[in-house]
Chains A and B, each alone.
Chain A
Amino acid sequence: MTKLAFKTIVAAAALALTAAAPSNAQKADPAGIVRKMHQAFFYQGESFRARVKMTLTDASGSERLRELTMLRVNMPKRGDQRYFMYFHAPGDVRRMAFLVYKYPAKESDRWLFIPALSLVQRIAAKDAQSSFVGSDFSYEDVSGRDVEADEHKLLREEEHGGKPCYVIESVPKGSASYKRELSWIDKAAFLPLKEEYYDVQDQLFKEFTGEEIKEVDGVPTAMKRTMKSVKTGHRTVVEFSEVKYHLGLKAEEFGERALRNPPGSWLK
């Protein structure tokens, strides 16, 4: 190696170090950033409950409402979670309940209780990218996507909405409904403030924004999330209320019995 080349490399390394220094001495490990984001966004507290209002708006402006109570409990096994969703509205789906056992690296198990048939039906979760209850959110958007399923790259660091952010590009390793995703991750709270999804034609087709970040039980939480389908003009706004962490929920209670008849304390 020539002297000159060596000098250049040293200079470049020094420059990179000084650039990285102010950012908490954080090593630019994009997968690590995404992992931290997942922790902050999907795994806070050992359990969680919120009343969720979903507003689905189509291109012509007409709206549909979904209201549900969502509960989550983290499993001892790293990454596993159980979700329980109980629907309050629209009227004809009241008492419908949805149970999901989530495993990061394999398909989740899902059950749905259909009150009119008094039937608990297992539902195949073939496609985690399919729409969640007709909204613009996919199942993945609600409960997280396996960090290892994508190749992550730190594109740049920039401010978004006045907050310093990492801009990460994630490209799915296998087949997916999108070709790549860009995320703006808040450096302080590690919450995603914005995500852009590009389709197979490499055109923007879905856009996520996380807003109204409030601290609840010491946990920064995005109380409002919007997913916009850019090409169709359809969008879904999710608003959280009555958020609570650390409820001391028991994982074994997330089962068929709860689907048919959820414990009163859950829906309070």
Chain B
Amino acid sequence: MSADLHDLGFLEAADALARKQVSSEELTTALLDRSERLEPALNSLTWFSRDAALAGARAADAARAGGDARPLLGVPIAIKDLLNVKGQPCTAGSNILKGYTAPYDATVIARLRAAGCVFVSRTNTDEFAMGGSTETSAYGPTRNPWDTARVPGGSSGGSAAAVAARLAPAALASDTGGSIRQPAAFCGVTGFKPTYGRVSRYGCTAFASSLDQVGPIARSVEDAAAVYQVIAGLDPHDSTTSSRPVGDCLPEVRGAKDLKGLKLGLPKEYFVEGLDPEVEKLTRAAVEQCRALGAEIVDVELPHSKYGIACYYILAPAEASANLARYDGVRYGFRAESEDLLEMYEKTRAGGFGAEVKRRVILGTYVLSSGFHDAYYLRAQKVRTLIRGDFEKAFSRCDAILGPVTPTPAFRVGEKTADPVQMYLGDIFTVNVNLAGICGLSVPCGFSPDGLPAGLHVVGPAFREELALRIGAAYQHATEWHRKKPADPKGGRP
């Protein structure tokens, strides 16, 4: 094998391992070495342990030597620091969970483990996944590998930056309002949020339970599809998971050559004031590429789109305020000492939570409180119905929807931290997909004149993952954007 083992994609690594061209120990070592070298410049990881990762890799190599031929045996993957991996820390980017050791595997982790994957590192996240820049992490901001003065997006900014910088061939992430797709777009990698109910949330630290969904970030749609179909499916530990079978979509995704026979919708509401002209240009060029691949492009309407952010910033904080009630200093995590129980709770939560989490917990508590519930929370749930209805109507006219993932390319570190509303507006094209519970894919579609990546959003109906992935794969088979890689950032160790 060449010296650049870290450049191998997820399925390329699986293939090289199967052919015994490389061992999992060699591959994992290469990624750990590279992580040690580049992390001072990127801060994309919250934790990695050479011993833990190499123990997994050696076990995989021993299994292979014994005749084990599982297709993903020994393939390394990074995990967002929000998902429980038994015996490893799981902090959700928060001081309140510093020192916590996961006592069990999340279902998605158990499935990757059963497939033979090696957990190589844990990736940085906005605190409890609340943010769009990874700046709210208690571990400090992650830097965008394309320009370290800029954010990688968030909340899964660590996963996106680590995959872009070749610290791992793929990573697990989670998406509540765009947290997989937006950082994937900002970092020039592929990110996929499956339909709500397609992937188990058991063992994924809860933020907003009716919106959270786990999915992959990788360097191609094929790699993302390979991870997706391992983690998807019914789980008795998560009653919202669907019993629909998960088929093998890889042959279809690999074979996607054109888009003939498909109607792809273009919502006029996604091309409005506030959309950066460069991002618009790149998105429209990607749409033309889809047309050239044989798709029929049709206009569709999503008239309630503009209400999505307001709706989301009522529902998500409401659910978060309930979910985060568990952090009380009694059963796990940080505890502020006090002689008085109530004061112990108040000081623990005051000292353990960062500013964005406090903001959202207070907002969520308010919109659920007596006298305000109907005006805010109930009304937002009704608006959610209208947003779902928009998509249902649109999907009666088209097979999938195309648009931009983000209104701008990656912004500068610190640029939006003082103004929460400006930060929230960055979710404008992604939140509605979570509110409607459908699936969304982000694929790289070019670069701004400053060299910053942009993403094409492929939005599919509920449980039509294979369709969204096939469209993204056909686009990638005709373009080279997903193959571009950033130069190694300055500021790493020599």
A and B bind: no
